[in-house]
Amino acid sequence: MSCDVCLHCTGESSIEVNTEADSNDIAQHSHDDTPRPHFCTVCNKRFATKGSLKYHRQLHNEGNLHSCTQCGKYFQTHEGLRTHVNVHSSRYKCAECGKCFDCSQNLKVHRQRHAGEKSFECSVCSKRFTTAGHLVRHNRIHSGEKPYKCHKCDKAFTVSGNLSRHVRLHMGDKPYKCSLCDKSFSQSSNLQRHKRLVHCNRRPYHCPYCGKLFKDTDKLKLHVRIHTGAKPYSCGHCSGTFSKHVQLKRHLLKSHNEGTWFICSLCQKKFICSESLKDHLFRHEGVKPYVCSDCPMRFYTASELRQHQPVHSDVRPYCCSLCDKSFKRAAAVKKHFKRCSSI
């Protein structure tokens, strides 16, 4: 069992158990009808029984936490830590992509993705998923449900992981630092993803439509929507649909005044996320924190570094869809495409 928000996220040590008697206020999971009247007042997570809540509360007690010596993650039981260590020992490793898991069940689900097995279908848009949990999270796009609420600012989220990262923003807790550019992260997984996307030139995922290469599957999925025209993110106020969540967020801010802009205090420029504002402030300060691992060049943003990195390798991730010629830079393929299409 794992918790969505730990003591190091919330910065609180006292735990109070509350039980709501009014059945109308009982929160329920969107994939079952089990009442969950017992909730933790630190992270607002709900449970069906007092025993489950009691077990969950241990995570907020710093003295009972078990830390992984290899990555620093915390677990509420020694058994949870022992299971997690399987990731580092490569006990459950995917033979196709090399990804490691903590148990055989998670590896089994992962293998289903390689096999293309998707047994769970969305009743709204017919999109299919490997697990019921993924379908539940997807359904929140259509319903607008945000069951995970921050106890400090009441901001709500569709998945628990986003709540966990958000709460750490209140605490300013970013213990995981990149050794290449000194950027800090609240979670070790975000640090590993940063290193892979920013400091590694390997691009193992290719687009089946145009051959463009990507460093991770998330970027590939976003790109493929350009070819398929898929727009899974819909606005709850109007008929607008969008291919990216960031586009929906920008639309809600501009058209419906829903959400919060991050505004630069020096030039009043608006941003939809705090990280974009942070990178923008680097320009005012003249600070270039992103350093190329192959040369002394430095950059203001991670995207600028990513555009520069192909210079040092033979990787040509940008392909012309008309003649299949490949290029190192996006600007080069755009320029070539105009010439190619005019012939």
What DSSP character marks residue 36? B
Spatial CB neighbours of 297, under 8 Å, sequence gap ≥ 6:
291, 308
pLDDT score for 90 = 86
Q: Is residue 118 part of a domain?
A: no
The verdict on residue 324 lying in a domain is yes
Q: Which residue has the higher pLDDT, 304 or 333?
A: 304
pLDDT, tens digit (0-9, with 9 covering 90-100), for 50-103:
777 776 666 555 445 677 787 767 676 778 888 888 888 888 888 888 888 888
C-alpha–C-alpha distance, residues 157 and 145, integer Å: 8
Q: Tell me which residue range forms the domain holding 336.
A: 313-343
330: in domain: yes
The token duo for 108 is: 């089994």
Contact 328, 310 (CB under 8 A): yes
pLDDT of residue 17: 34
Q: Does 166 have pLDDT greater than 80?
A: no
If you write DSSP's letter for every residue of 179-240 in order, what string do you get? Answer: TTT--EESSHHHHHHHHHHHS-----EE-TTT--EESSHHHHHHHHHHHH----EE-SSSS-
- Cβ count near 162 (within 10 Å): 16
87-91, 114-118, 202-206: the lowest-pLDDT one: 202-206
- Say if 342 falls within a structural domain: yes
- Per-residue confidence (pLDDT) for residue 30, from 0 to 100: 39
Tell me, what's the pLDDT at 267?
Answer: 93
Look up the CATH number of the domain holding residue 330.
Answer: 3.30.160
Round to whole Å and give the CA distance between 148 and 158. Answer: 6
pLDDT band at 20 (very low <50, low <70, confident <90, very high): very low
Task: Answer yes or no: is 36 within a domain.
Answer: no
- Rg from Cα positions in the chain: 23
CA separation for the pair 94, 246 (Å, rounded): 32
- In the chain, the number of structural domains is 1
| pLDDT band, residue 184 (cuts 50/70/90) | confident
Question: If pLDDT is split at 50, 70 and 90, which confidence band does 5 have?
Answer: very low
pTM for the structure as a whole? 0.40
Confidence of residue 10 (pLDDT cuts 50, 70, 90): very low
pLDDT at 12 (0 to 100): 34
User: pLDDT band at 7, cuts 50/70/90?
Assistant: very low
- Whether 132 is covered by a domain: the verdict is no
64 lies in some domain: no
More confident position, 204 or 296: 296
| Confidence category of residue 172, pLDDT binned at 50, 70, 90 | low
Q: Is residue 319 part of a domain?
A: yes
Nearest CA-CA partner of 173 in 156, 185, 164: 185
pLDDT (tens digit per residue) in 149-159: 877 777 888 88
| Paired tokens of 134 | 């993924």
The vertex-313 CA angle with 309 and 315, nearest 5°, equals 90
52-66, 73-87, 105-119, 270-284: segment of lowest average pLDDT: 52-66
Whether 310 and 214 have beta carbons less than 8 Å apart is answered as no
Q: What is the DSSP string of 262-286?
A: EE-TTT--EESSHHHHHHHHHHHHT
Amino acid at 277: L
> Does the CA dihedral 269-272-278-283 come out positive or negative?
negative
Report yes or no: 157 and 163 within 8 Å, Cβ to Cβ: yes
